[in-house]
Structure 1
Amino acid sequence: MPPEAVRTFFSRLRAERPEPRSELRYRTPFELLVAVILSAQATDASVNKATETLFRVADTPEKMLALGEEGLRRHIRHIGLHNSKARNILATCRILLERHGGEVPRSREALEALPGVGRKTANVVLNVAFGEPTIAVDTHIFRVANRTGLAPGRTPREVERRLLEVVPETFRRHAHHWLILHGRYVCTARRPRCGACPVADLCAWEGKAAPG
């Protein structure tokens, strides 16, 4: 996609959602970190349902550890992979207390050293909690980047690299959310809503529906 088209692409997404926000509910970086760990292979809605009760009783690493594995599992049992996620969250809480004074670290290296935290989760935390211009490539962003021709790549890491190369700096802070929300509600995996897409004319997808 030519540079001017990329600028137009994001200008239109920004016009629709000037201040995009994560659909995960959280109040602190710690709550966000836990929510993002839980969101792997799960919907934001299911995570929000679980954390609504969980964060009432455990909104710090100390309180989360006090719940214990069984206590934590009771809150997240309806989320996929809840057993391994419970273990990872508690192990992460121990590291936060032992190495980071109970605070969520602001460096990628430290975040990726936490159990259950990979590059995508670290990017989300850096972007949403700390305002870093990172782009976490999930299934929605991977699809949008490849389908539209914005930043095609064979792997999430390759798509991330290309997005960071082509997205103008002025749009980079919110690019993550604009692309996720566009993929979640417009450029869906099945039956994309091309007729309602604000960037359809810029899209290179051969299968896009004709206007009208």
Structure 2
Amino acid sequence: MKKADIVEMFRRLRELNPHPKTELEYTTPFELLSAVALSAQATDVGVNKATRKLFPVANTAQKILDLGLDKLKTYISTIGLYNNKAKNLIAMSQILVDRYDGEVPTTREALEELPGVGRKTANVVLNTAFGQPTIAVDTHIFRVANRTGLAPGADVRKVEDKLEKVIPKEFIQDAHHWLILHGRYVCKARKPECPNCAIIDLCAYKQKTKPA
């Protein structure tokens, strides 16, 4: 995609949604970190249903530890892979208490050392909680980046690196959210809603859907 088209693409996405944000519900960096970790292979809607009950009871690392593994599982049992996620959340909370006084660290390296936290989760927390210009490439962003021609790549890391290079600085902070939301609601996996797409004329996808 040409530089001028990239600028126009994000200008339009910003116009449609000037202040994009994650659909995960949170009020603190720890809540966000926990919610993102729980959202792996799960929907934001499903995670929110669970955390609406969990966070009023335990929304800090120490409170998660006080809750304990068995009780924690009862709160997140509706989320896929909840047994493993509960173990990771307990282990993560223990490290946060032991090393960081219960606070969420603000570097990717420290975040990625936490159980259940990979690069994507770290990038979400750095961007959304701490305002750093990172891009967490999930399935939606990977699809949009490849379909549109914005940043084609064979794997998520290559797409992430390309996106960081091609997205203008004025858009980089919110680009993560714009691309996720576009992939979730417009550029869908099975049947993209191309007739309703604000960037259809800029997109390189050859198999565009036609109006019904």
Asked if these proteins are the same fold (TM beyond 0.5), I'd say: yes
Which residue matches 2:84?
Answer: 84
Which residue matches 1:31?
Answer: 31
Which string of whole-angstrom CA distances, capped at 9 and with x for unpartnered residues, describes residues 37-56 of structure 1? Answer: 00000000000000001001
Which residue matches 1:46?
Answer: 46
Tell me the secondary structure at the aligned position of residue 56 of structure 1. Answer: coil
TM-score scaled by structure 2? Answer: 0.99
1:209 CA drift (Å): 2.6
Tell me the secondary structure at the aligned position of residue 153 of structure 1. Answer: coil
CA distance in 2, matches of 1:133, 1:174: 8
1:101 CA drift (Å): 1.0
Task: Determine whether 1:161 maps to 2:144.
Answer: no
Tell me the secondary structure at the aligned position of residue 48 of structure 1. Answer: helix
Which residue matches 1:202?
Answer: 202
1:191 CA drift (Å): 1.1
| Paired positions, count | 212
Which residue matches 1:57?
Answer: 57
Which string of whole-angstrom CA distances, capped at 9 and with x for unpartnered residues, describes residues 52-98 of structure 1? Answer: 01001001111100111110000000100100000000000000011
Tell me the secondary structure at the aligned position of residue 45 of structure 2. Answer: helix
Which residue matches 1:3?
Answer: 3
CA distance in 2, matches of 1:115, 1:209: 41
Residue segments in structure 2 that go unaligned for 5+ positions in a row: none
| Contact 2:12/2:199, CA 8 A, preserved across alignment | yes
1:211 CA drift (Å): 6.4
CA distance in 1, matches of 2:80, 2:154: 26
Which string of whole-angstrom CA distances, capped at 9 and with x for unpartnered residues, describes residues 118-153 of structure 1? Answer: 000000000000000000000000000001110000
**Structure 1 vs Structure 2: percent identity of aligned residues?**
61
User: Considering only aligned residues, what root-mean-square deviation do their CA atoms show, in Å?
Assistant: 0.9
Tell me the secondary structure at the aligned position of residue 161 of structure 1. Answer: helix
TM-score scaled by structure 1? Answer: 0.99
Residue segments in structure 1 that go unaligned for 5+ positions in a row: none
Task: Determine whether 1:185 maps to 2:185.
Answer: yes
1:141 maps to amino acid:
I
Q: How does 1:81-160 map to 2 (within 5 A)?
A: 81-160=81-160
